[in-house]
Amino acid sequence: MIDFIKLIGDKILSLFNQDPKDAENEKVFISEGCFGKIEEVGDVYYIMISIQGVIDPDEFRRVMEWALIKVKSGNYNIIINSGSLKAMPKESMEYMDDYWLPEALKHNLNLVVIIRPTDLFGYISLEAICKKFPIMNYKFVPSMLDAQLEILKIS
């Protein structure tokens, strides 16, 4: 009987100690340069996608498909950490133009905050995608802190 009471007590305590986002397995790891996860600033959750270096089109598609599922399932804004992005292949840009952004906008994506790549080609790649969708609210910022502040402003 004591074991049963302890088990029930542990279950109840775990409800208070567990982050609800952890319980839903809210992250995807594709590679060192390509991953996504749900993060929180203040009491606001957002999708953080990290794309670094020269991004592989298949890896990029996988992380963005994960993010699209999250956008469709809830009211998330997105931060793209692309500070070290060197270049985005043409097929990744086409995927964003032809499929991902139209789908995300249909599901009320409010804001995409992009940490500005220091590499000129990385910046040009992302800016070209964003300019094709003038109805999308996007911002380029220099750091993660600035990106999080933008997320807080809109929420």
Tell me if 50 sits within 8 A of 36, measured CB to CB: yes
Percentage of the residues of the chain whose pLDDT score is greater than 90: 55
The pLDDT score that the predictor gives to residue 42 is: 87
> HSE (CB half, 13 Å, CA atoms) of 114?
22
**Domain 23-153 bears CATH identifier 3.30.750.24:** yes
pLDDT tens digits, 28-78? 999 989 999 999 998 889 999 999 998 899 999 999 999 999 999 887 899
Nearest CA among 78, 31, 20 for reference residue 56: 31
pTM to 2 decimals? 0.79
Q: Domain limits of the chain? A: 23-153
pLDDT tens digits, 68-118? 999 998 878 999 999 999 988 999 999 999 999 999 989 888 899 999 999
